[in-house]
Amino acid sequence: MCGIAGLMTRDGAPPSSAPLRAMEAALRHRGPDGVGHYRSADLAMVQTRLAIIDLETGAQPLYEPAGAALIANAEIYNYLELREKLSSSTRPIAFSTQSDCEVPLHLYRRHGLDFTRHLRGMYAIALHDPAARRLVLTRDPFGIKPLYYADTATGFAFASEPNALIEAGIVAPQLLRSARDELVQMQFTTGRETIFAGINRVLPGETVVVRQGRIVDRQRRTALPEYGPIDLGEDEALSRLDAALVDSVRLHQRSDVPFGMFLSGGIDSTAVLAMMARLAERPVKAFTIGFADGEADERPAARAAAKAVGAEHVEVEFSEADFWRSLPQIVSGVDDPTADYAILPTWALANTARAADIKVILSGEGGDELFAGYGRYRSILRPWWAGGRRPRARGMLDDLGILRGAITGWRDGIAAAEALAGSHAGTRLQAAQAVDCADWLPNDLLIKLDRCLMAHGTEGRTPYLDSELVGLAFRLPDDLKIRRGLGKWLLRRWLSEHLPQAQPLARKRGFTVPVTRWIARRAEAIGPLVAHSPAVREICRPDAVENMFAAAGQRRAGRASWTLLFYALWHRHHIERRILPPDTLAALAD
């Protein structure tokens, strides 16, 4: 894993060194192990490296004989198989490194822009072909790895994080209010536009071609297979799931540095633990977090699962004091904002893993989306009179009496994803899963994982998002996803056979962080600071916000209070460009 950035001018002049140096400095946390530079006529690129595979010869840029050069923030999990195929072809390739990222270069030379169709992995790649006079940017189909760009009057710039483009002076930190509205109403943003005006995302699965500082072509691969369930019985499905998990976890464990995993005690991460333990030559290193006064502490369940497979289990406790002390730093690290409170434990676990010299972490992101674990999936299958309802029908701040005026349009991005998903011939459940995979997964869960881990120089891997496993999971019959009122039925059944100590068929409460309780305890001090912050005052009435914080012990008021607290801090650092001290009250005070 790494950070990548680059500049291409419109007038053909060599790019200035100053903005490139600024982007390099802004991305050093993503790649503390080295820096590589590339220049060719109107293009300059930089990569900050986190060395995971081929520690000796894998420095970038990488080159191929016809002159193309590549920098990447990537792990290509099937690189060994691809190397063997390319080396034994009728036109054999002589590789110059052992890097997984050299393979895409040679595939590009053979297949052109279709080269990504051969890759199993996570990647944000920048490839320059001087002969064709084009820069190619591409991102993996699920958007596991981030990539952003700015198309300006003088040229084109790209980077792994928006903050690098801002620090380089390429784009000013101006708020895009339509994206702001999405954030405060849904806790994440959708689509191509980011919350920063002028900074866009390369979409998941998209390939962008740039020539003379202008985008001249776009292509896109879909992450999900064709819709419609396959005809599959439970026994055969279990057998195929086992084979797919073996294959995916085996590939995701390829590393030349120590690796471990995040274990929540839930179904997804426990299944990853069980498979890692089956395949590993030494005990799995598993990291679990708990909360001193949490309502649902999953440490006992995680502890039992880790003991059953003989894992080296590290438990971390996250306290109320940790929350108030670390929140400003966490928010500062999330330039593309996600107000998901799960960012708190992810940050703390990343810090613990890195202190233990672990540079690669496997996690369970994607399991809920692909095997239908969320309660909202069960809800959409019920008629309205039985409690069924459309997901995200009400915004986080709606009906609380705090808004200066109605926030409109905040649901437009999700509505577009729903319309697209509904146009395919599949089940209602598949459509709901596809909507989550389009925006919620890349722009909430995967941003959270990327920023928290990369801030600590650690790589996150998501075996559920492997293309072969996805091809099976998404097309399972609905009754192998939801049965007896339980989501992830087939994954639960697999786990009941391979790690029964996890009690996967028992009903479990979802993972929770007691942020609303912590906020309620300090509402008298924190409420006025949030209410009178410029960011919140623009959209909410301060007196009403203070009253809402006073009622933060109630579920809706508490969740809205957390969202506004996060947004106020985020705006202060990323828009107002203030350095936040390690204390939340001090960070909000003038």
Average pLDDT of adjacent 10-residue blocks, the chain of 590 residues: 94 96 97 94 95 84 95 96 91 90 96 96 98 97 98 96 98 98 98 98 98 97 91 96 98 93 95 96 95 79 95 95 97 97 96 95 97 91 63 93 96 94 90 96 97 96 97 96 95 97 82 90 97 97 97 95 98 97 93
What is the pLDDT, as a whole number, of residue 511? 64
How far is residue 193 CA from its own chain's centroid? 16
Q: Shortest CA distance to 432 belongs to which of 490, 388, 497?
A: 388
What is the pLDDT, as a whole number, of residue 357? 94
What is the pLDDT, as a whole number, of residue 416? 95
Judge whether 361 and 262 are in contact, CB under 8 Å.
Answer: yes
Look at residue 147 and give its three-state secondary structure: coil
What is the pLDDT, as a whole number, of residue 280? 87
What is the pLDDT, as a whole number, of residue 581? 96
pLDDT in tens, 40-54: 999 999 999 988 887
Residue type, 12: G
Helices (H), strands (E): how many in the chain? 23, 17
CA distances from 572 to 403, 525, 527, 577 (A): 20, 18, 16, 6
Residue 537 phi, psi dihedral angles, 5° rounding: -60, -25
Beta bridge partners of 125: 72, 138
CA distances from 46 to 12, 15, 38, 72 (A): 19, 12, 6, 10
What is the pLDDT, as a whole number, of residue 292? 79
Where in the chain do CATH 3.40.50.620 domains reside?
234-373+442-502
Peptide bond into 542 cis (omega under 30): no
For residue 421, give the DSSP letter: H
What is the pLDDT, as a whole number, of residue 545? 98
Give the per-residue SS3 of 221-248.
Answer: CCCCCCCCCCCCCHHHHHHHHHHHHHHH
Residue type, 205: G
Judge whether 32 and 48 are in contact, CB under 8 Å.
Answer: yes
Q: What's the start-to-end Cα distance of the chain, in Å?
A: 38
Both tokens of residue 104? Answer: 């895409």
Domain 2-220 carries which CATH code? 3.60.20.10
Q: Shortest CA distance to 9 belongs to which of 155, 114, 183, 129?
A: 155
What does the CA dihedral 359, 256, 77, 260 come to, rounded to 10 degrees? Answer: -40
Residues whose CB is less than 8 angstroms from the CB of residue 177 and which lie 6 or more positions away in sequence, other chains included: none
Fold exhibited by the domain 234-373+442-502: Rossmann fold (3.40.50)
Beta bridge partners of 9: 155
Residues whose CB is less than 8 angstroms from the CB of residue 409 and which lie 6 or more positions away in sequence, other chains included: 178, 181
Farthest-apart Cα atoms in the chain, separation: 74
Where in the chain do CATH 3.60.20.10 domains reside?
2-220
What is the pLDDT, as a whole number, of residue 1? 66
Alpha helices (H) in 32-151, listed in sequence order: 79-87, 102-111
What is the pLDDT, as a whole number, of residue 507? 79
Query: What's the whole-model pTM score?
Result: 0.96
What is the pLDDT, as a whole number, of residue 225? 92
What is the pLDDT, as a whole number, of residue 91? 87
How many Å apart are CA 538 and CA 391, to the nearest integer? Answer: 27
